[in-house]
């Protein structure tokens, strides 16, 4: 009986007391953790219509940009080209702001949702509701374009480029120098044959002569219509208006586009008695990748790298190095 009692006491000591002693001596025991997946990079986004800055996962932001910038019905290779261009644009902005500070419109954010300043953006929730029954299929397609090109950017001489893009060119893209000044050797005029079949290729705008003159008077200082309505026009290689004389005052083509709300600067203007008619080719600033042109090239069997190298000259597609924190 005594023997059994001794064995019991020893067993209790081994199973219960020893671990407690060890725990007190060596502190809390922790099981080895499974390796955590690398935290996804976040960026700060200024949402203009809500006037607030939010942090978003980078790839989620890019998916939302692609879904806002390009129809989900476009080819997968065109969507991938769009994803890489949008990622490159984002990285080049971030690099530029590191040096010069973020502009006032951004409230310190990496990027904003004003498409005239950065890129178009729509939340996944809003985009899904606009897609209706196709929401899952389309979101999956766009997600794939971003995920399969994860980390890929366009570089020129090792620097991530400002990969601007537009809807539809006039059949030829514009030199960035002609539109914004400054020389960007990778943003030069190239042929974009697919644009001629884009539904956005042609547009018209007609105003009465008095409306035309009124808009000019309100936006251009010193116009005088007693001597001239429209005078000398200079054009880029692609046919976009560089300068135009209206009422004896010369303005830039970009200003003409802005004040008359034209789809591009590539316009023919006819003054006919009491009417002014604009025949416009293309949609957007015309610089860099044409989205409809990209989709056309994809339909001809080009992959996203070939598409990007068509629109951005002398570039490489490379994997972004992870930032060292």
Residues near Zn ion, by CB under 5 A:
112, 117-118
**How many C-beta atoms lie closer than 10 Å to residue 180's C-beta?**
14
Residue whose CB is less far from Zn ion, 106 or 172? 106
Q: At its nearest, how many Å lie between Zn ion and the CB of residue 110?
A: 9
- Pair 287, 178: CB distance under 8 Å: no
Q: At its nearest, how many Å lie between Zn ion and the CB of residue 109?
A: 8
Q: At its nearest, how many Å lie between Zn ion and the CB of residue 119?
A: 8
Residue whose CB is less far from Zn ion, 117 or 255? 117
Residue whose CB is less far from Zn ion, 103 or 185? 103
Residue whose CB is less far from Zn ion, 94 or 248? 94
Query: Under 8 Å CB-to-CB from 171, ≥6 apart: which residues?
Result: 191, 192, 193, 195, 196, 238, 281, 282
CA dihedral 7, 12, 17, 22 (to 10 degrees): 80
- Pair 233, 250: CB distance under 8 Å: no
Q: At its nearest, how many Å lie between Zn ion and the CB of residue 86?
A: 13
Q: Do the strands 42-47 and 52-57 form a parallel or antiparallel pair, or are they unpaired?
A: antiparallel
Q: At its nearest, how many Å lie between Zn ion and the CB of residue 284?
A: 17
Identify which of 72, 297, 61 has the alpha carbon closest to the alpha carbon of residue 173.
Answer: 297
Residue whose CB is less far from Zn ion, 72 or 160? 160
CA dihedral 15, 17, 21, 27 (to 10 degrees): 60
Residue 17 DSSP one-character state: I
- Pair 161, 316: CB distance under 8 Å: no
Residue whose CB is less far from Zn ion, 48 or 200? 48
Q: At its nearest, how many Å lie between Zn ion and the CB of residue 113?
A: 8
């Amino acid at each position: 009986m005594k023997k059994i009692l001794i064995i019991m006491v020893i067993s209790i000591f081994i199973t219960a007391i020893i671990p407690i002693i060890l725990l007190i001596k060596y502190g809390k025991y922790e099981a080895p953790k499974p390796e955590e997946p690398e935290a996804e990079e976040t960026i700060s986004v200024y949402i203009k219509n809500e006037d607030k800055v939010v942090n978003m996962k980078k790839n989620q932001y890019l998916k939302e940009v692609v879904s806002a910038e390009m129809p989900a019905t476009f080819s997968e290779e065109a969507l991938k080209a769009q994803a890489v261009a949008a990622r490159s644009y984002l990285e080049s902005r971030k690099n530029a702001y590191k040096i010069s500070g973020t502009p006032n419109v951004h409230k310190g954010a990496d990027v904003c949702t004003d498409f005239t300043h950065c890129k178009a953006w729509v939340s996944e929730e809003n985009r899904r509701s606009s897609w209706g029954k196709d929401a899952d299929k389309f979101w999956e397609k766009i997600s794939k374009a971003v995920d399969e090109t994860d980390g890929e950017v366009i570089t020129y001489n090792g620097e991530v480029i400002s990969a601007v893009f537009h809807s539809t060119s006039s059949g030829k893209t514009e030199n960035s120098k002609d539109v914004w000044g400054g020389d960007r050797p990778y943003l030069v005029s190239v042929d974009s044959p697919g644009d001629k079949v884009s539904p956005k290729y042609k547009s018209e705008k007609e105003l009465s002569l008095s409306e035309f003159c009124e808009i000019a008077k309100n936006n251009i200082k010193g116009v005088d219509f007693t001597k001239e309505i429209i005078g000398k026009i200079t054009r880029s290689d692609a046919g976009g208006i560089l300068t135009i004389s209206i009422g004896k005052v010369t303005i830039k083509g970009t200003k003409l586009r802005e004040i008359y709300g034209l789809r591009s600067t590539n316009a023919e203007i006819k003054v006919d008695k009491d009417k002014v008619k604009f025949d416009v080719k293309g949609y957007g600033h015309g610089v860099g990748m044409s989205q409809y042109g990209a989709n056309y090239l994809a339909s001809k069997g080009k992959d996203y790298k070939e598409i990007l190298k068509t629109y951005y000259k002398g570039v490489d597609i490379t994997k972004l190095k992870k930032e060292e924190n």
